[in-house]
Chain A
Amino acid sequence: MTEMPKQFDKQQDGAEIELLSFLVGEQDYSVDIMSVREIRGGATATSLPHSPQYICGVINLRGTVLPIMDLAKRLGMAADTEEDRNVIIVVAVGDRTVGLLVDAVSDILAIPEEDIQPPPEIRADGEQSFISSLTIVDGRMIRILDLKAVLPPPGEESS
């Protein structure tokens, strides 16, 4: 990171953004680290009636009621290793806080802005709209999640 990057009108100082990367169903995903509030082990969620499948329920996060979303289900992947996945990434989007249930947290990455590319347009995948951009680290493709898209607007989850 010695070179001075060109001024980008994008995030932060335009230099680089930090990402928290994690595994969901063998795939690498990441979120902007600024939106991460904490990472915690899994807890038994109280299921919510009439909720979408990807909502595991709610847990007690030091006295606040935190909804937990199964990210694999949300991204349309088959949830097969249910009991292995027990890491919850607590993220804040706007004034909402949600826990994302993932397989494992991998790393914290600092990515120069110019290494971030927009996702190709592929209509076949429904999940594609959840990905805001892509980057490559050590030959692995890291998908950067668009958290606003992942979180459905409040009140509309209930069918």
Chain B
Amino acid sequence: MSDPMAEIRASFFIECEELLEALQDGLQALSDGATDSETVNIVFRAVHSIKGGAGAFGLDDLVAFAHRFETALDEVRSGNLQTDASVLKLFFQCADMLTDLVHSSRDGSEHDKTREAPILADLEKLVGAEDEQEDVADFQPMALSLDLPPDQNTFSIVFEPDAELFASGNEPLFIFRALQDIGTLEVTCTHPDLPDLDALIADQCKLIWHLTLTTTEPESTVREAFDFVEDLCKLTISQDAVSDTGALPDLPAAPPAPVASIPSPAPSSEPEPCPEPAPAPGPVAAEAAKPENAPTAKPATTATTPVGARATVRVDLERVDRLINLVGEIVINQAMLTQSVEEAGLPPNSSVRTGLEEFLQLTRDIQESVMMIRAQPVKSLFQRMARIVREASADIGKEVHLQTDGENTEVDKTVIERLADPLTHMIRNAVDHGLENTDERVAAGKPAEGVVSLTAMHRSGRVVIEVADDGGGIDRKKVHQIAVEKGLVPADLPLSDGEIDNLLFLPGFSTAREISNLSGRGVGMDVVRSAILALGGRISITSERAKGTTFSISLPLTLAVLDGMVVSVANETLVVPLNSILETLALTEEDIRGFGPSSHVVNIRDTFVPLLDLGAELGYRRPLETYVGSVVLLVSQEDGSRAAVVVDAIEDQRQVVIKGLQDSYGRVPGIAAATILGDGQIALILDPVDLITQSNGHTRAAPSPAFQTG
């Protein structure tokens, strides 16, 4: 495929993602009780647009399925089908299916046809019967009509579709309906060139439609309706001077009776390109019938056409990243400048200094705004979770409702991407383990339908995402028992509730008695936790017996900057992530106790914490003679294990721009990344968790293997 085509294709799939999101949104709104026709329209339009685009790229599977889905949705739109719970459930399935189809079309992977069949069968059941009748009342009159119709325009449209229009899966009926949504439409059909039946070429459309549309919308909106077919037909749109619905100035020569005569030639003259012809005759016949009724039956005025969503620009992520990098440079440069101005010893009120101050403010603002570009609402993530809940609950036969809140909370794109897997796991856990069986729920006096809620919010410069269920809560006795059985904790160790809850995060812990399809394969919360940790986040549990369990994830807003404490050790400057530091203290003789022959522990409020000498651990120097008076950072791992890390001095606390080391050099044990300080020097960012696990704990001047390098 040539390059420009591939590009268009790529942008089609990007568009698809947005449309699928809109589709999910709309369905969700419907299931939340929205009944307005606009919501139905949004859903319909999303599917329709996907179908239209897919047709252009010859994605037949996608077109076929989208078409069936669209047909069903059209029934809803026309009021023939009530969106009750079972219908919505099917629609959600269809949406999931459509998503899969889009993805498999995009990746060129094989699509699992077997899953499609039952859904299609259900769809058929739903709309098959109604398909044929398509009666006059197929358009729901809008309850909402404007009292003051603004300037009405009348457009005369001559629409002569080419054969390709049908070949690409487009359907004039839907275009006409779209037009009808924005105004009063009168349709007449002529067929001046239509040959006799024996000379008829089946896939040539010889019909010409003359449409008169009275609407408040501008011409561009009218043209939008023909967006997908513009190149596939002869189209003229002209605007009549003043609206006068009574006259039909454009149709003098047109035979007035074509409508009645059409039904017979129509089916043969209109090739049905869609692979599945079953529902086709319905719409086609309807289309012939409809124009006749449309203008007389209901002069519907739809005023609530979507006023284009917020204007957006699609930008290559690489460009954004480059911009972010450059802004990072500015911040660093600016810090360097500040430092040299300091060193020059200019008076505090000099213009250079005040100018610099403003510059500082501006760069901060720029940095924040640029970071915002990468930020995305968590909505798409939540929608994926909604699907997980639907599938998971169907698998194990629990009734589960997912309640989402704060979907517009914005988080860095990378964070969102990397959050998907852990969150999926947590959601499944909540459905599988968190919620009780329906019987147990009823017995406990709870509604049969369990609720899993997914909440996102900003809290003090971080994003907090909570996964909560209203299930039975953590059975701490059982958890403790299992942990003891598996040898994860000693049996006689008394544990607080919080500590027991945290046992869930231990590797190899799984409470599911039997391995279910969803969870319980032993890769459990420990994987979730390490994924969250890798994002610089924290995870915690709160659980109340019989009330439910809440997992709370706290994440940095962006992965590009980090709050760190700048420390120095052995003349090297290092940055320690602030979120890992519990407290800092200076050691007194009282605090330090010898432990092994080459190690120390620190007594912190009567708990003993291993002492690590950062300089020795990183091989910068030998362990010190004495640590009395040393500054230590008390760092913690998420499992609660702690270590006291000796540094020479704490220099500063600041936000640093993270620069990866992996690409240019490779992994360095105990080091997470690098950053550039104000003086232009590179400082390494410590990975406390890695440091603690890799540590050897040498804090006495014994022969130190840590000092050897290479």
Residues of A at the B interface (CB closer than 8 Å) are 44, 46-55, 57-60, 62-67, 95-98, 154-159
Closest to A63 in B: B329
Report yes or no: B572 in contact with A47, Cβ–Cβ below 8 A.
Answer: yes
Query: Does B607 make an interface contact (CB < 8 A)?
Result: no
For residue B663, give the distance in angstroms from its CB to the closest CB of chain A.
8
Distance A66 CA – B660 CA, assembled complex (angstroms):
11
B660, B662, B669, B684: which contacts A46 (Cβ < 8 A)? B684
Report yes or no: B674 in contact with A51, Cβ–Cβ below 8 A.
Answer: no
Report yes or no: A65 in contact with B666, Cβ–Cβ below 8 A.
Answer: no
Distance A155 CA – B664 CA, assembled complex (angstroms):
10
Known: A63-B329, A96-B664. A46 touches B682 (CB 8 A): yes
Report yes or no: A49 in contact with B668, Cβ–Cβ below 8 A.
Answer: yes
A49, A55, A156: which contacts B669 (Cβ < 8 A)? A49
Known: A49-B618, A49-B671, A50-B669. A66 touches B664 (CB 8 A): yes
Report yes or no: B680 in contact with A60, Cβ–Cβ below 8 A.
Answer: yes
Report yes or no: B664 in contact with A49, Cβ–Cβ below 8 A.
Answer: no
Q: Is the interface of A mostly helix, strand, loop or mixed?
A: loop
B569-594 vs A, Cβ < 8 Å mask (1 yes, 0 no): 00011000000000000000000000
Distance A35 CA – B524 CA, assembled complex (angstroms):
47
Chain B neighbourhood of A46, CB < 8 A: 572-573, 674, 681-684
Report yes or no: A48 in contact with B681, Cβ–Cβ below 8 A.
Answer: no
In the complex, given contacts A46-B674, A53-B709, A65-B674, what are 5 additional A-B residue pairs having Cβ atoms less than 8 angstroms apart? A48-B665, A58-B664, A58-B674, A98-B664, A157-B665
Chain B count of residues within 8 A CB distance of the other chain:
32
Report yes or no: B572 in contact with A97, Cβ–Cβ below 8 A.
Answer: no
Report yes or no: A158 in contact with B684, Cβ–Cβ below 8 A.
Answer: no
B609-621 vs A, Cβ < 8 Å mask (1 yes, 0 no): 0000000011110
Report yes or no: B710 in contact with A159, Cβ–Cβ below 8 A.
Answer: yes
Known: A58-B661, A60-B682, A62-B329. A51 touches B676 (CB 8 A): no
For residue B251, give the distance in angstroms from its CB to the closest CB of chain A.
66
Chain A neighbourhood of B681, CB < 8 A: 44, 46, 60
Chain A neighbourhood of B664, CB < 8 A: 58, 64-67, 96-98
Distance A20 CA – B35 CA, assembled complex (angstroms):
74
Closest to B694 in A: A50
Query: Does B328 make an interface contact (CB < 8 A)?
Result: yes
Distance A158 CA – B71 CA, assembled complex (angstroms):
61
Closest to A73 in B: B710
For residue A146, give the distance in angstroms from its CB to the closest CB of chain B.
20
Distance A64 CA – B674 CA, assembled complex (angstroms):
10
Report yes or no: B572 in contact with A65, Cβ–Cβ below 8 A.
Answer: no
Chain A neighbourhood of B620, CB < 8 A: 47, 49
- B window 31-75: CB within 8 A of A: none
For residue B680, give the distance in angstroms from its CB to the closest CB of chain A.
5
Report yes or no: B709 in contact with A51, Cβ–Cβ below 8 A.
Answer: yes
Chain B neighbourhood of A156, CB < 8 A: 666
Chain B neighbourhood of A58, CB < 8 A: 661, 664-665, 674, 682
For residue A42, give the distance in angstroms from its CB to the closest CB of chain B.
13
Chain A neighbourhood of B665, CB < 8 A: 48, 55, 58, 65, 67, 154, 157
For residue B658, give the distance in angstroms from its CB to the closest CB of chain A.
10
7 closest A-B pairs by CB: A49-B618, A155-B666, A154-B666, A53-B710, A52-B710, A46-B682, A63-B329
Distance A159 CA – B670 CA, assembled complex (angstroms):
12
Chain B neighbourhood of A98, CB < 8 A: 664
Query: Does B659 make an interface contact (CB < 8 A)?
Result: yes
Distance A29 CA – B710 CA, assembled complex (angstroms):
25
B548-583 vs A, Cβ < 8 Å mask (1 yes, 0 no): 000000000000000000000000110000000000
Query: Does B325 make an interface contact (CB < 8 A)?
Result: yes
Query: Does B667 make an interface contact (CB < 8 A)?
Result: yes
For residue A1, give the distance in angstroms from its CB to the closest CB of chain B.
38
A-B contacts, 8 listed (Cβ < 8 Å): A47-B572, A49-B617, A49-B684, A55-B665, A65-B676, A96-B663, A97-B664, A158-B667
Chain A neighbourhood of B684, CB < 8 A: 46, 48-49
Query: Does B332 make an interface contact (CB < 8 A)?
Result: yes
Closest to A95 in B: B663
Chain B neighbourhood of A59, CB < 8 A: 682
- B window 307-327: CB within 8 A of A: 325
Distance A52 CA – B668 CA, assembled complex (angstroms):
11
